Amino acid sequence: MFDISFTELLVIGAVALIVLGPEKLPRLARTVGHLAGRLQRYVADVKADINREIELEELRKMRDSMQQAASSFESSVQSELAKTETELNQSVESLAADPAPPAAAAGAEPPRAVADEKPAQASGENPKAA
């Protein structure tokens, strides 16, 4: 950030020693060190806060996209469910309107009437023997 070489620091130190004197220079150096440390901590805290906010914003965007995906999935499932329900209701209505039993519609043999068996019993024949 700052481009200060070692020789420039030596010149600044020599001027400070001449201007302030040997009694005040250590105290000034200590104070400058504390202020520099505070400044570094403050900058680090600001960087951490900015990074945290960026991460929170990314998480919010991810949450919003997940909510949109979930709601679109839910709406598609609801529409398919409604479509299937409508088809089932139509099938039930068509079966209820059709008087023919399902076996007759499949080409199966119609059931025999019970009246056909009674004459054989009345004549004295044993139906089990046949």
- Could you report the per-residue pLDDT of 61-114, keeping only the tens digit for each? 999 999 999 999 999 999 999 999 999 999 998 888 876 655 555 555 655 655
Predicted pLDDT of residue 9? 84
d(CA 91, CA 85): 10
Averaged pLDDT, 28-37: 92
pLDDT tens-place string over residues 39-74: 999 999 999 999 999 999 999 999 999 999 999 999
Question: What is the rounded CA–CA span in Å between residue 122 and residue 129?
Answer: 15
Q: What is the pTM of this model?
A: 0.46
Taking the C-alpha atoms of residue 33 and residue 63, their distance in angstroms, rounded to an integer, is 45
The candidate with the shortest Cα–Cα distance to 88, out of 98, 99, 100, 80, is 80
